[in-house]
Structure 1
Amino acid sequence: MGSIILVTIPSSGAFFTTYEAVKSVLTKANSTLKGSPSPSVPQPFIHSAASATAELVSCFILTPAEVLKQNAQMIRRPTESSASKSLTLFQRSVTLQALKQFKRPSQLWSGYTALAARNLPFTAMQFPMFEHLKASIREHRKSNGTFTGGISETALITAVSAGSAGSIAALLTTPVDVVKTRIMLSAAGESSEYQTKNDVERAKRQGQSLEKLASEKGITKKGGLTVAREIFQKDGIKGLFRGGVLRAAWTALGSGLYLGAYESGRLWLGDRHEGNHEM
């Protein structure tokens, strides 16, 4: 949890800063494109492009924490009989234990392509649907005369819109998430699976690189398509959508809270900013 909390703050900040900036620039450019007063590009495409750009920036920050989280979750707690009484705090931390498995810093970004490949289609689908649902609900309430524009109403509308859009996008992108998880879990295995004590000592005596040793033992990096093909051949289409319903339900809750808090917070800060100017 520690690595995720620490990295989520800058990654989320980078996402929304990039999203709002790109959306604003593209919207302004679109409204004046070719001198036409009406937009030339549909607004959903602008939301999709802005969210995809923001996701690329966010994923670069988030990937190391995702890799550590996935590998930390796979570490088994030693039994009391095998655990040493003099075990230090460094050894007790599963996050630090996971970090020790990586021999090169670049391995922490080994899942960037897979994470971006999962999040890009998810975000590109979610945000156009989210913006459309949010605008539609607002217009419906305005037509009924029930729209107040308050913070609590904004939070509720945003939560419903984000939760609905997020659950649909999450279900559709489950296969990419499954592949991403397999790739990230194998990142540390790239080093730890074959680097036993005897193998390392033998490689050092013979002047052999660990990369060559891995090749001899048949351990190679696999691409996303290869991993997806292996899952499909072993478990079929159900294997690629494993956990999809749970992921959709959890994403609906998470997206609702996440974007609901963001929109209501932005409205609250905007009201305070206007109030200070009026004073």
Structure 2
Amino acid sequence: MDNSSLDIWVAGALAAVTVDFLVYPMDTLKTRIQSPKYNHLYKDATGAIKRDVLFRGLYQGVWSVVLATVPSSGAFFTTYETTKHILTLSSTQTQPQSQTKTPNPLPFTHPLPKPIIHALSSSLGEMVSCAILTPAEVLKQNAQVLNMKSPTSTKAPRQSATVQVLAKFKHRPWKLWSGYTALVGRNLPFTGLHFPIFEGVKGWLVSRRATGKGNRDRNGVVERAALTGVAAGVSGTVASVVTTPIDVVKTRVMLGAGGEELKGTEKTVRKVKGTLAVGREVWREEGIRGLFRGGALRSVWSAFGMSIYLGIYEGGRMYLEKRRMENGEGGVL
């Protein structure tokens, strides 16, 4: 690996912030559609969608996510790249010790193939990232469904959606992590499926492109970023469709964490429903259709978001690596 940890953090942060602003409106719509109060809040008595309410405040809660994705994306990519690097060097299938100058960092070798290495590395990175991201996700999703009506009085300025939601947790801040299990439960299957497909498709595209280019430059930053974006879009679509039911449950759990049950004294506070209980409830009340609610929209923004996210990350990482190598600096994790 030729990248430093700083390269990975900077590239990951740039990619995360860019995507947050680009796809956030679609994520807000997806959250509102998956909300258990969707019919009550966003439809009138005739069943028609109240578009003025559904499409109002699509950027509510965005700053909580932007501030959290910088460290969480850096933590994910650092963990992912480091773990992938170590497991690849110690694999008897991907890089035999007799053919590499880099020593095995582990005291043993293993027979794991590349797809398994990518799945394990991305899953470990996701678990670290989710610990940082969960509070922001809880704030974000509760802010996204908050009905921000125009104030009837001008005496006091209207508080932002994030501030209003944060006030619900001031006496019980630990509730901000109540969605960690649901978030990991959603992200691990998505990431574990997405990254092996992504790495496979990217490798195939890069190999095909390199064959067609002959002796010309095969490592252009823009071209590699574009190929990475295409691979990420394809793999993101597949992974998002498969994991939509888990995403619906995760959304319900996080919305429940910021619900009315947080108001009142400690004696009257009710326990937020767990992931399995919420999943059974959705299945019982709404069936398979409820578990896939918002799936089409999620697949669209996942394809778009992942292509931009990983495309910018790969392009930024390669650019920083080339600039550092031109300056004669080494690449260490």
Distance 1:78 1:261 in 2: 37
Matched, 1:271 2:271: no
Which residue number in structure 1 is paired with residue 58 of structure 2?
none
8 Å contact from structure 2 (residues 69, 133) kept in 1: yes
Equivalent residue of 2:145, what SS?
coil
Matched, 1:212 2:281: no
**TM-aligned CA distance change 1:190 to 1:50, over 3 Å:** farther
Q: 1:127 aligns with which of 185, 195, 201?
A: 195
Distance 2:77 2:97 in 1: 29
- Please state how far the C-alpha of 1:233 moved relative to its aligned partner: 1.3
- CA deviation string 1:2-55 (max 9, x = no partner): 11111111111111111111111111122499x875972111100000000000
- CA deviation string 1:90-128 (max 9, x = no partner): x51211110001121111101011001000010000000
RMSD between aligned residues: 2.1
Higher normalized contact order (CA 8 Å, seq sep 6+, divided by chain length)? 2
Equivalent residue of 1:212, what SS?
coil
Q: Which runs of 5 or more structure 2 residues have no equivalent in the other structure?
A: 1-61, 100-109
Structure with higher Rg: it is 1
Distance 2:309 2:151 in 1: 40
TM-score (norm: length of structure 2): 0.72
Q: 2:179 aligns with which of 103, 111, 126?
A: 111
Q: 2:155 aligns with which of 73, 77, 86?
A: 86
Identity %: 48
More helix as a share of residues: 1
TM-score (norm: length of structure 1): 0.85
Moved over 4 A (4+): 35-39
- CA deviation string 1:243-266 (max 9, x = no partner): 111101110000000000111111
**TM-aligned CA distance change 1:93 to 1:32, over 3 Å:** same
Letter in 2 for 1:156: A
Matched, 1:62 2:133: yes
Distance 1:259 1:78 in 2: 37
Aligned residues between the structures:
254
**TM-aligned CA distance change 1:140 to 1:79, over 3 Å:** closer
Equivalent residue of 1:92, what SS?
coil
Letter in 2 for 1:261: I
Which residue number in structure 2 is paired with residue 154 of structure 1?
224
8 Å contact from structure 1 (residues 64, 109) kept in 2: yes
Distance 1:77 1:163 in 2: 33
- CA deviation string 1:48-103 (max 9, x = no partner): 0000000001101111111001111222224443xx33324xx5121111000112
